[in-house]
Amino acid sequence: MSDVQHTWRIGLYPGSFDPITNGHLDIIARAARMFDKLVVGVAMNAGKGPLFPIAERVELVQAELAAVTERTGTPIEVRPFDTLLVKFAAEVGASTIVRGLRAVSDFDYEFQMAGMNYRMRPEVETVFLMASERHQFISSRFVKEIAQLGGDISSFVPALTLERTLARVAKR
């Protein structure tokens, strides 16, 4: 028997998910392979005026995750939060915060956030993952803008999210 103890590792992937995109799903699938359990934290306060209310953002993340859970077998829990990220990480027992990096443009913000979080709670590590080339440039912000201007967003978001985004945009 090996004397190496396996510690149960929980990862936390936080974001606004307004709405969830194929870029987010790519990161979730990668993170699911790295941890024994993944918590996807949906930030209640998504800047000024999110397109989707928090309950629907959570619902969509949950629904779109099903395929990833089936593929990886890793339990994934989706939870809304409105507290300090490092506090939330402690609350869910996460050892690691996962963030996605797109282009250089994300770096400055992510660098500052990781640094400040480390100062507040050094026992929680932040790791950065990159999506596959196909999904790297996708952002929720542009998805919303393109949809509002009548463009085709079907290759950027999963099916149910596409349907709901088009419905919301039509109502506005």
Provide the annotated active-site residues.
24, 48, 102, 140
Looking at 41, 50, 100, 158, which residue binds ligand ADP (CB under 6 A)?
Answer: 100
From 31-39, 62-70, 73-81, 136-144, give the range in contact with ligand ADP by CB under 6 A.
136-144
DSSP 93-139: T-SEEEEE--SHHHHHHHHHHHHHHHHH-TTSEEEEE---TTTTT--
CB of 104 to ligand ADP, least distance (A): 12
Size of the site for ligand ADP (CB under 6 A): 17
Sign of CA dihedral 106, 107, 108, 109: positive
Looking at 24, 30, 57, 144, which residue binds ligand ADP (CB under 6 A)?
Answer: 24
CB of 70 to ligand ADP, least distance (A): 22
Task: Give the separation between CA 126 and CA 118, rounded to whole angstroms.
Answer: 8
From 3-11, 19-27, 28-36, 74-82, give the range in contact with ligand ADP by CB under 6 A.
19-27
Burial of 77 (0-12, 13-18, 19+ CB in 10 A): middle
Looking at 72, 74, 96, 140, which residue binds ligand ADP (CB under 6 A)?
Answer: 140
Residue 104 in contact with residue 137, Cβ under 8 Å?
A: no
Residue 42 in contact with residue 78, Cβ under 8 Å?
A: yes
CB of 133 to ligand ADP, least distance (A): 10
- 125 near ligand ADP (CB under 6 A): no
Residues 30-69 that bind ligand ADP (CB under 6 A): none
Which H, E and C letters describe 28-84, residue by residue? HHHHHCCCCEEEEEEECCCCCCCCCCHHHHHHHHHHHHHHHHHHHCCCEEEEEECCC
Looking at 99, 126, 143, 147, which residue binds ligand ADP (CB under 6 A)?
Answer: 99
Residues that bind ligand ADP (CB under 6 A): 15-17, 21, 23-24, 27, 99-100, 102, 106, 131, 135-136, 138-140
